[in-house]
Amino acid sequence: MSVTIRDVARVSGYSIKTVSNVINGHPQLRPETRQRVQDAIDQLGYRPNLSARNLRSGRSGVIGLIIPDLTTAYFAELADAVMRAAAARGLAVLIEPIGSGRENELAALRGQHRHMVDGVIYSSLTLGAPDAELLKSVDTPLVVLGDTSFNGQVDRITMANVAGARAGTEHLLASGRRRVLALAAHEGDIVASAELRLAGYRQAIEAAGARFDPELVYYADSWHRRGGAAAMRKLLEDGLSFDAIFAFNDTLALGAMHVLQGAGFRIPKDVAIVGFDDLDETRYSLPALSTINPHRDEIAKAAVDTLLRRIEGGIELETHEIETGFSLEIRDSSGPSAEGTGAANTAA
Amino acid sequence: MSVTIRDVARVSGYSIKTVSNVINGHPQLRPETRQRVQDAIDQLGYRPNLSARNLRSGRSGVIGLIIPDLTTAYFAELADAVMRAAAARGLAVLIEPIGSGRENELAALRGQHRHMVDGVIYSSLTLGAPDAELLKSVDTPLVVLGDTSFNGQVDRITMANVAGARAGTEHLLASGRRRVLALAAHEGDIVASAELRLAGYRQAIEAAGARFDPELVYYADSWHRRGGAAAMRKLLEDGLSFDAIFAFNDTLALGAMHVLQGAGFRIPKDVAIVGFDDLDETRYSLPALSTINPHRDEIAKAAVDTLLRRIEGGIELETHEIETGFSLEIRDSSGPSAEGTGAANTAA
DNA sequence: CTGAAAGCGCTTACAG
DNA sequence: CTGAAAGCGCTTACAG
């Protein structure tokens, strides 16, 4: 059952060292040597014992990913992107779903898996600048994914919250909408991304020469579909007039869209909607939802590479803060308005 | 940085063996000894090196979970359940998303992570009885999650497809519906669960003394929301009359519900709907979707425990096939019909 | 290019 | 209860 490097050495007629060189792709080896060793490996079905390799090298080849849960589409898609980015670097990912809330997030920093992983990608919602020291005291290489700054004291990848929100709002204004609602959310202590996206929304409004109207900012009580639906119902009751919505994330947008359609509004004719996150399901909603694509693959790649650099560079290495790009995905939910051509297809 | 068991021995004044006994919770230890060793551990911040432990024990404490992807709600929720079940047994889970299709599923069996894990939970959609030999030839302990039988040659956990589908259909019939549509799906070679659920649907129809009408069985071209929506549009064009739908999974049901609502049907008044899977989002759809809960936690627990037994028992251990329970979750989408009380709230 | 040997940190018979 | 020692399978100076 357990073929070891020693067996390969014996069968191939070379020393353990040489076999090891072949396995690890050392360059200076005669092709013939390499071939014979490889033949023995194939013949025996040898696979290196990773525990032994890890013990020796001090590395496990596994990184941790700490997220609140796996069943929220946003985190599932993030995890998927991180796994792909890690696989491209030969790393496996150990996902640790920790639940939401500050306490869980803190507890995770002392998690049990800590010693199985070479480093951790940590998606934090509640930690902020005052916790920078705490994060620095963690003895595992760490990269934070989040919208709150730690004053450059921690490696961090963040998305283009302000620029993305601005682009989404500008797109709505550019398509002729005049009363663009901001559908925001507060949830627990999660304020960072909401604030940043609000700033982007406001920038777009003001850049268009309009006045920022706080009355047009609605707060859902959660970031989820249900929150978007509830906020929209309240909004319709309030009798506010509007012809577009920039929602601070996709699920809010989908919840709002559902209620609007139930109330007889046509989308995008009567109301255009743009979300944020580019969740996979936005392609399949009816109509398909326009949204800000935060370039999750880029975020994941930056996180993995930054973590790898930290693992190799140690604590002295200077910290990196990276803000990734974004793009506006124009789908059916933000096509021309009722005053437009009438054709409800994708705007160019 | 690396405190070892040797350091703990030195500081505590006991031998390495004794320290090891304390760490591993050996019973016969004087409380005083245990305390002194523990003090040293705490003082030094000692954590066992898992690579060394694994090398020695031949176990990694990690199990693999092979699924098509993490971004489909169904698999995300399955993964979540498996992680919780594994954590309860002190195991970590390495998720390997492999994409869909038979080729990917086969390739995964020779996956790179094979040697990091003590065993694998393998969610297969395309493998069937003829592949039993292949599965048995994998040298890693393996438990299959799936609806296709391998003739008892492989450990397998499956859900109550027939009984669940029957219960869902019976619920619709019991609430006074007369024309219950079956919204089925074919996708690639995935036929097993569709066939089983169709059998359950048919049993319910016939048990009610009605005749099974093949015309009422509609096939979507995918198991997803979009497939359900497309099938429903076609169905409405066909002008078929019906007052209820039993959908073979929740996303089909949600897609169908959306199209029905867009066409002016009231749910459940005009059409009652029941899905299958109990995805989290069924609680938040409008109306909330009635569904068959396949007891995912039970599935996950059975899978982890069966795998653990296989890991410990080796290849001689006889194989287990476990079918888990289910329950009918009655929500708003299957309340009373138009002829009923008129109150569209949850049926009892 | 290649070999003999040490050592990563742990657990576990073996001997007291 | 406790100690000294072997060995899990690998990598890597060190010496040729």
Q: What is the pLDDT of residues B25-65, one digit of tens each?
A: 887 778 888 888 888 888 888 888 888 888 888 888 889 99
Over residues B295-302, mean pLDDT? 97
Residue B346's pLDDT is 33
| Sign of the Cα pseudo-torsion (B48, B50, B52, B56, in order) | positive
- Nearest Cβ partner of A70 from B55, B79, B115? B79
What are the backbone angles phi and psi of residue A29, rounded to the nearest 5°? -140, 140
| Total residue length of chain A | 348
Q: Could you tell me the two tokens for B223?
A: 């198991």
Spatial distance from the CA of B167 to the C1' of D7 (Å): 58
> In whole numbers, what is the pLDDT of chain A averaged over residues?
87
Cross-chain residue pair B92–A94, CB shorter than 8 Å: yes
End-to-end CA distance of chain A, in Å?
61
Distance separating alpha carbons of residues A307 and A299, to the nearest angstrom: 12
Say whether pLDDT at B348 is over 80: no
CB B153 within 8 A of CB B132: yes
Q: Does residue A348 carry a pLDDT above 50?
A: no
Q: Where are the domains of chain A?
A: 62-159+295-325, 161-294+329-334
A340 confidence band (pLDDT: 50, 70, 90) = very low
B321 close to B156: Cβ distance less than 8 angstroms? yes
Q: Tabulate helix, strand, coil % of chain B (nearest 5).
A: 45, 15, 40
Residues B115, B97 contacting (CB under 8 angstroms) = no
Residue A342: its pLDDT value, please?
Answer: 36
Distances (CA, A) of B169 to A83, B62, B286: 40, 40, 21
What is the mean pLDDT of the segment spanning A79-96? 90
Mean pLDDT, residues B15-30: 84
Give the bases of strand C that a protein CB approaches within 7 Å: 1-5, 7-14
pLDDT value, residue B344: 35
- Asked if B171 and B140 count as a contact pair (C-beta separation under 8 A), the reply is no
Class level of CATH domain B161-293+329-334: alpha beta
Q: Are the beta carbons of B155 and B307 closer than 8 angstroms? A: yes
Per residue in B209-263, pLDDT tens?
999 999 999 999 888 888 999 999 999 999 989 999 999 999 999 999 989 988 8
**B340 versus B262: which is more confidently predicted?**
B262
pLDDT > 90: what percent of chain B?
48
The answer to whether B56 CB is within 7 Å of strand C is yes
Per-residue pLDDT averaged across A247-273, rounded? 93
Q: Which of B49, B73, B113 sits opposite A115 (nearest CB)?
A: B49
User: Contact at 8 Å (CB) between A301 and A269?
Assistant: no
Instruction: Say if residues B286 and B314 touch (Cβ distance below 8 Å).
Output: no
In terms of CATH architecture, what is A62-159+295-325?
3-Layer(aba) Sandwich (3.40)
Tokens of A163: 């620029």
pLDDT tier, A187 (very low <50, low <70, confident <90, very high otherwise): low
Of A229, A280, A276, A230, whose CA–CA distance to A73 is shortest?
A280
Four-point Cα dihedral A306, A311, A317, A323, nearest 10 = 10
Contact between A147 and A159 under an 8 Å Cβ cutoff? The reply is yes
Sheet holding A217-220, edge to edge: A217-220, A180-185, A244-247, A272-276, A290-293, A327-329
Task: Round to whole Å and give the CA distance between A2 and B90.
Answer: 25
Q: Do A97 and B83 touch (CB under 8 A)?
A: yes
Instruction: Look at B328 and A110; give whichever has higher pLDDT.
Output: B328
A83 inside 8 A of chain B by CB: yes
Q: Give the homologous superfamily in CATH for domain A161-294+329-334.
A: Response regulator (3.40.50.2300)
Q: Which residue has the higher pLDDT, B137 or A202?
A: A202
Domains A62-159+295-325 and A161-294+329-334 in one fold = yes
H or E, element range at A219: strand A217-220
Among A198-207, A256-265, B268-277, which is the least confidently predicted range? Answer: A256-265
In this prediction, residue A289 carries a pLDDT of 96
Calculate how close chain A gets to B162, using CA atoms only, in Å: 26
Q: Classify B233 as helix, strand or coil.
A: helix
pLDDT of residue B341: 39
**Tens-digit pLDDT profile for residues B95-133:** 988 888 888 888 887 765 667 788 999 998 778 788 888
Question: For residue A278, which of A331, A206, A237, A239 has the smallest C-alpha distance?
Answer: A331
Q: With contacts defined as CB-CB under 8 Å, which chain A residues touch B221?
A: none
Q: Which residue is nearest to nucleotide C13 (CA to C1')?
A: B17
The pLDDT, as a whole number, for residue A191 is 62
Q: Give strand letter and number of the nucleotide nearest B16 (CA to C1').
A: D3
**Can you give the pLDDT at residue A112?**
57
The Cα–Cα gap between B190 and A138 comes to 46
Nucleotide at minimal C1' distance from the A56 CA: C8
- B197, amino acid identity: R
pLDDT single digits (tens) A46-68: 888 888 888 888 888 889 999 99
Phi and psi, residue A141, nearest 5° = -55, 135
The spacing between the Cα labelled CA in B234 and the C1' in D4, in angstroms, equals 79
B83 vs B88: CA distance, rounded Å? 9
Confidence category of residue A78, pLDDT binned at 50, 70, 90: very high
C-alpha distance from B100 to closest chain A C-alpha (Å): 14
pLDDT of residue B128: 79
Q: What is the pLDDT of residue A120?
A: 93
**Mean pLDDT, rounded, for B203-211:** 95
Distance CA A27, CA B221 (A): 51
Reported as a pLDDT band with limits 50, 70 and 90, residue B143 is very high
What's the pTM? 0.86
Residue pair B91/B141 in contact by the 8 Å Cβ criterion: no
How many Å apart are CA A275 and CA A245, to the nearest integer? 8
Distance, CA of B58 to CA of B61 (rounded, Å): 10
Nucleic strand C under 7 Å from the C-beta of A54: no
Backbone angles phi, psi at A289, to 5 degrees: -90, 125
Report d(CA A257, CA A228) in Å as an integer. Answer: 8
Q: What is the pLDDT of residue B34?
A: 87
| DSSP characters over B206-226 | HHTTPPP-GGGEEEESSSSHH
The two tokens of residue B254 are 């949600």
Report the mean per-residue pLDDT for chain B.
Answer: 87
pLDDT at B327 over 90: yes
Segment A10-26 shows an average pLDDT of 87
| Helices vs strands, H then E, count in chain B | 12, 12
Phi, psi of A128 (to 5 degrees): -140, -170
In whole angstroms, give the CA distance from residue A62 to residue A112: 14
pLDDT confidence of residue B119: 92
As a whole number of angstroms, the distance between CA B186 and CA B182 comes to 13
Looking at residue A139, its amino acid is D
Q: What is the pLDDT of residues A121-176, one digit of tens each?
A: 999 877 878 888 888 888 789 999 988 888 888 999 999 999 999 999 999 999 99
